[in-house]
Structures are given as C-alpha cells and as structure tokens.
C-alpha cells in the first residue's frame, strides 16, 4: 500500500445517539500513514465522531467510505479486520488474563467453529512483546496497574492486524511515562503504514506526536491540519472557551500549551474565605452542645 | 493459571467424579458397601480384580435398576445445570445469573402443574417432563420477546424481563394450586423440591440426548462466549454479531436446563454456585470453565443426592434441599475467602 493513499472519506456526516444529534456536517479525508489526533473540550463530540467512523452509530445524513467502499456495506466481521477500535473504558466482569484478552483480537479471523491456532498464538505473543506485557501474559487484568492494562488493550488492538486503529483516549489517567509511550507506539505504527485516529486530551503530547490534528467544537470541526496550524492561540481560545496560549519552548523545542487565568474578581475571594474559614480549629475537637 | 494447574484440577475433578459415583451407588437403605460397588465394576468389565468380594444377585439388581439410573440422571442433570449456568453468566456478563433468571424454572414449574391438573403425570412417564419442558420454553421465549427491541437484546432488559416473566408464571402456578385437590398439591410439592428418587433408565433416555447435545454445543461455542463475556461494546469491536450469538446461546442453555429440570424438578444452586466455584479454580476462560463446570456440577449433584440418602437412617432428604443446604455455606465460605485476598 503506497503512502498518502486515501483510505477513509467522510462526506457531510450528521450523527448522534437516536434523535440527539451531536456531530453536524463533518467532512474530511484520511490518508494512509496519518496519525490523527481528535481534540476539543469535554462534550465536543470527539468520541461520538470516532464511534460513527467505526459504524457504531447510524448516520442521519452523509456518507463514509472506507477503501472506496461504503461503510454500511461492510459486515461486522469485515469491518473488524479493517478497523480496530479501543473503547474509552473497557469494563470487565470476569477476571480474564492478559493473554485471553489479547487473543480476543484474533476473533474476526476465525470461522465460528474454528479454535485459535498456533499462528494466532504467535501473533498474540508478538503483540504482547511489542507493548511489553509478555511477562504479564497469565496475570489477571484486574490485578494490573492502569498503565499495564492499557498496554494489554493496545496489544489486543494490534493483534487484530488492521490497517486502521481507532483509539478513544488511550492515554487518559496514565502516568506521564505511559502516556508518552502510547503516543510513541502509535507514531511508530504509522511509520510502518498503519493509520491511527485517536481521541486525545493531552495537547502537549498531541502536538509532538500527531501528524495531524482535528479540533472539534460543539460537534463541528473548526480546525483540521498539522499541529502548528491548529494549535494557535486564537483557534484554541475559541474551541475551549478560555484564554489559551501556546508557545514553543526554546529549550525543548516542544509546544507548551496553558491557560491564562481569568482576572480575579471580588466575589471569588469571598467564596474562598467562606470555604477556608476565618478561624482554624488547629487540633481542637469540635464540641456539640 | 498455567497448564500444570489446569491438569491438576482436571485430575482432581476426575477422581472426585469416580469417588462420588461409587458413593452414590453404595448409599441407601439397601445394604451395599463401597468396595462391593468397586468390585461390581471390575466384575462387569471382566477385569480379574476383587474376585474375593461377592455381589449377590439381589444387590446387582438394586445396582442395575435403582441406583445406576438414579446416579446417571444426577450426573446428566448436574452437568447440564452447571454448564448452562456458566453459559448464562458469561452471556449476561453477570456472575449472578443462573438458569432461573430467564424464567426457565418458573415456566417449567407451571408446565408441571398443568400436567398434574390434567393428570397426564399418572398416565404416562413422559407427560409431566414434556409439559414442564414446554412451559420452560414458552417462558423463556416470552422473556426474550419482551426484551428484544430493534433487533437488539440489551442485557439489563433481558434480566428484568426474566424477573417479570418469572413472577407471572409463579402467580399462574399459585392460582392453579388454589383450585387443585390436596393430593395433587402433594404431587406438585414433591416435584417442585427436585429429587432423583425413583428415576429409571427411561428418564435417562429422555434426558441424555438433549442434555449431552446442549453441553457439546456450549463447549464448541466457548470462544464466542469468551468474547460475549467481555461486554457488548468489546464484542462488537472485534466484529461479533452480538444478538445472533446471544440468541443461539440462550436457546441452547434453555434447552439444556429445561431438559434437566423437567426430569428432576427444579434444583437450585447448582447453576449458580458451581460455575462460580470453578471460575475461582480454573479462571474465567470458558474453554476451561465449561468442562470444569460440567464435571463439577455432576460431582456436586450426585454427592448431594448420596448425602441425602446417608444422613438420616430409614429416610431420604431430597436432593433439592441438599444442594441448598450444602451449597450455601460453601458458597459463603468461598466468597469470604476471596474477599480476604483482594
């Protein structure tokens, strides 16, 4: 597959949950090898966009084509070998081991009566080694830390061997090191021709690793381009509704993004006084009479 | 949970199975020792062991026509109930699901009451089981019908529908009971507690095909069940047709449970606690969990039945009572123990 080949084409889609429309008139193309970060504030419609691209939500209007074929015409299984999708929060009732979980990624390749083969086992092993969870293969997922768990889920998504990866906030709530590692994994995968679309909250990391950013505000894509084009003060300020600055850090060469605090108003001071209290108890017991 | 661990558990379960079968064959009012049962096995298979131990013709008749069918029914029903329970728990990704929760038991009970009222239970051996089976299938179909919307079966709706249908059928049963003669109420009570008493080879014949077939299909579907148990969103993400597989597995579990319950009457606890116990022993992967539950259920039910015959002199305790009495404390113990580890 040559680079810069168009793999996904979205035309004027309007979508949401039942009658509750969230995304309106979104259009864009996705090329092979891109690492796209979908950014925007909470409730802007990032996850909804990703879900509708995967075909989980019915389109109210517009069309999505994947590899030149209408998304609707794919069967569930056909889609699962083209796009791997990692949901925001995997809720597990039973305590599966890491290996069981990663093996789930091989599901779409099997006919219903087939059992997993040695080849599946090899692919699963390779994925777990790549994300560094091979030693945890027989460990129950519930006994793992958040970072380990996320690496297991990443291995599962990779075991699906799809050209396209959709990841919904895979780095949220992780330690800094693990967050960056996930971005590095994705960047590397894209270098080898995979395409990644990821919902991201960490703007600084998105700026450094993503090849393209898509900024959402209230269900509309208000900016779409490379990180330098999207992460400007004015665009970010508009999207997030608070005063935002982005600066290139001279020492690291990375983009630093931060909010400018609103000017202090008198009312807030009153509230703080109320919360903190005038007198502290300092070890005294509170007595009730 | 490595391979060695799984092999060890398999061996333990297999040995337990053999012990429990021999215990069940030797337990009861007619005198037979454990060793006589073992000797009888060897004699029957033509292996020259324990030739000094004598088994009388009368004892052999008891073994052959009373205790063997009873034990085999126990094995079948125990395996069927426990495997179905494991499937339903995986299917709902809810560890509290059991065959009763989608209306199987209440439907079967209603069917049994109808059979008793009409009186077909006294005219033919298959009358009551067949009626119970039909009742169970109707109840589950109603549950699924109520829960299906736009081609989807949401788990929570299904559970609620199951509870509602269960209540409906219990109410219908209660209504029937109020207009029934006393001796028929007696028969109903006898059935509802669940027992392996007086089960003959005919009962085995009735159950062996649907229950074994059900168990085999469930085991073949283990890989799909693993995916379903991850929840709907994960299952869809790897391309599973969730509704289709839920329906198939529901149908198989219903058939297996209904076939079991209609032979023995409703027996609680096996479908709930055995999969639980086995999950603690072999982990949640259904490729190991289903075979373990099957053997575990068989062992547990036959053990309960044997205990019911041994505890009181000159009288028996129904197996349905034994499963609850033995199951509850052990289940609580496991729960507490598990909590300590966490």
Segments of chain A assigned to CATH 3.40.50.300: 6-82+162-276
From first to last of its 289 residues, chain A has per-residue pLDDT tens of 444 689 999 999 999 887 889 999 999 999 999 999 999 998 899 999 999 999 999 899 999 999 999 999 999 999 999 999 999 888 888 889 999 999 999 999 988 888 889 999 999 999 999 999 999 999 999 899 988 999 999 999 999 999 999 999 998 878 888 899 999 999 999 999 899 999 998 899 999 999 999 999 999 999 999 998 898 888 988 898 888 888 888 887 788 888 887 776 667 878 888 888 776 777 777 777 6
* A77 Cβ under 8 Å from any chain B Cβ: yes
Ordered by where they begin, the domains of chain B are 3-341 (1.10.3470.10)
Complex ipTM: 0.84
Q: What is the mean pLDDT of chain B?
A: 88
Query: Residue B2: its chain A contacts at CB < 8 A?
Result: 138
B280 → chain A, closest CA residue? A95
Q: Tokens in use for A177?
A: 């090191």
C-alpha distance across the termini of chain B, in Å: 17
pTM for this entry: 0.86
* A67 Cβ under 8 Å from any chain B Cβ: no
Q: How far from B225 is each of A78, B86, B247, B269, B323, CA to CA, in Å?
A: 20, 10, 12, 22, 27
DSSP-H helix ranges across B148-285:
155-178, 182-193, 201-220, 222-228, 232-237, 242-264, 270-282
Range picked from A51-65, B91-105, B324-338 for highest mean pLDDT: A51-65
**Exposure pattern of B138-166 as b/e (b: 16+ CB <10 Å)?**
bbbbbbbebbbeeeebebeebbebbbebb
Q: How far apart are CA A168 and CA A83, in angstroms?
A: 13
How many residue pairs from chains A and B have C-beta atoms closer than 8 A?
77
Find out whether A215 and A49 touch, Cβ atoms under 8 Å: no
Distance from CA of B223 to the nearest CA of A (A): 7
Indicate if the pLDDT at residue B296 is higher than 90.
yes
Pick from A108-117, B166-175, B294-303: least confident: A108-117
Which CATH architecture group holds A6-82+162-276?
3-Layer(aba) Sandwich (3.40)
Q: How far apart are CA A223 and CA B15, in angstroms?
A: 68
Indicate if the pLDDT at residue B334 is higher than 80.
no
B303 or A260: which carries more pLDDT confidence? B303
Each residue's pLDDT tens digit, B68-90: 999 999 999 999 999 999 999 99
Distance from CA of A137 to the nearest CA of B (A): 10
Interface probe with B: pick from A78, A104, A156, most Cβ of B within 10 Å: A104
Closest Cβ–Cβ partner in A76, A91, A104 for B226: A104
pLDDT of residue A254: 81
Distance from CA of A117 to the nearest CA of B (A): 12
Q: Which residues pair with A256 in a beta bridge?
A: A247
Find out whether A183 and A169 touch, Cβ atoms under 8 Å: no
Indicate if the pLDDT at residue B210 is higher than 60.
yes
């Amino acid at each position: 597959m040559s680079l810069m080949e168009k793999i996904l084409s979205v035309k004027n889609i309007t979508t949401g949950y039942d009658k509750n429309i969230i995304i309106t008139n979104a259009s864009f193309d996705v090329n092979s090898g891109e690492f796209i970060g979908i950014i925007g504030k909470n409730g802007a419609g990032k996850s909804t966009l990703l879900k509708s691209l995967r075909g989980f939500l019915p389109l109210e209007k517009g069309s999505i084509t994947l590899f030149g074929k209408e998304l609707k015409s794919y069967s569930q299984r056909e889609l699962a070998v083209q796009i791997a999708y990692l949901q925001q929060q995997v809720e597990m009732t039973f305590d599966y081991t890491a290996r069981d979980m990663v093996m789930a990624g091989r599901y779409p390749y099997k006919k219903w009566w087939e059992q997993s083969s040695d080849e599946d086992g090899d692919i699963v092993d390779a994925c777990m080694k790549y994300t560094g969870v091979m030693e945890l293969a027989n460990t129950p997922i519930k006994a793992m830390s958040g970072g380990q768990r996320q690496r297991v889920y990443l291995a599962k998504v990779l075991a699906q061997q799809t050209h396209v990866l959709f990841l919904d906030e895979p780095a949220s709530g992780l330690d800094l090191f693990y967050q960056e590692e996930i971005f590095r994994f994705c960047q590397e995968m894209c270098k080898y021709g995979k395409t990644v679309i990821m919902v991201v909250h960490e703007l600084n990391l998105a700026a450094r690793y993503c090849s393209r950013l898509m900024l959402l505000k209230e269900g509309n894509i208000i900016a779409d381009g490379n990180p330098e084009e999207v992460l400007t003060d004015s665009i970010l300020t508009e999207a997030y509704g608070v005063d935002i600055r982005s600066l290139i850090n001279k020492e690291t060469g990375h983009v630093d993004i931060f909010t400018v605090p609103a000017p202090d108003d008198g009312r807030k001071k009153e509230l703080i006084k109320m919360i903190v209290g005038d007198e502290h108890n300092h070890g005294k017991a509170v007595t009730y009479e | 949970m490595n391979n060695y661990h799984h092999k060890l558990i398999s061996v333990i379960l297999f040995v337990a199975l053999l012990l429990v079968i021999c215990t069940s064959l030797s337990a009861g009012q007619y005198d037979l020792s454990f060793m006589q049962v073992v000797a009888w096995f060897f004699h029957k298979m033509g292996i020259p062991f324990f030739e000094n131990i004598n088994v009388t013709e009368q004892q052999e008749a008891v073994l052959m026509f009373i205790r063997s069918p009873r034990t085999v029914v126990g094995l079948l029903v125990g395996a069927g109930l426990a495997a179905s329970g494991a499937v339903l728990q995986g299917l709902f990704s809810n560890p509290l699901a059991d065959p009763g929760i989608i209306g199987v038991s209440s439907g079967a009970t209603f069917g049994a009451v109808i059979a008793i009222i009409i009186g077909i239970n006294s005219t033919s051996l298959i009358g009551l089981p067949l009626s119970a089976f039909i009742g169970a299938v109707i109840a589950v179909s109603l549950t699924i019908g109520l829960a299906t919307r736009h081609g989807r079966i949401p788990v929570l709706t299904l559970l609620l529908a199951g509870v509602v249908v269960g209540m409906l059928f219990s109410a219908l049963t209660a209504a029937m009971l109020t207009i029934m003669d006393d001796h028929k109420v007696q028969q109903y009570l006898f059935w509802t507690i669940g027992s392996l008493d007086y089960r003959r080879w005919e009962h085995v014949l009735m159950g062996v095909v649907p229950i074994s077939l059900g168990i085999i299909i469930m085991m073949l579907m283990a890989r799909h069940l693993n995916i379903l148990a991850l929840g709907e969103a994960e299952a869809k993400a790897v391309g599973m047709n969730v509704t289709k597989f839920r329906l198939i597995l529901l149908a198989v579990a219903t058939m297996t449970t209904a076939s079991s319950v209609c032979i023995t009457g409703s027996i609680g606890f096996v479908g709930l606690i055995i999969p639980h116990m086995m999950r603690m022993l072999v982990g949640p992967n259904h490729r190991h969990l289903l075979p373990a539950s099957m053997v575990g259920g068989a062992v547990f039910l036959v053990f309960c039945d044997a205990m019911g015959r041994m505890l009181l002199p000159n009288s028996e305790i129904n197996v349905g009572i034994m499963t609850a009495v033995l199951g509850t404390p052990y289940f609580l113990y496991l729960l507490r123990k598990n909590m300590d580890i966490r």
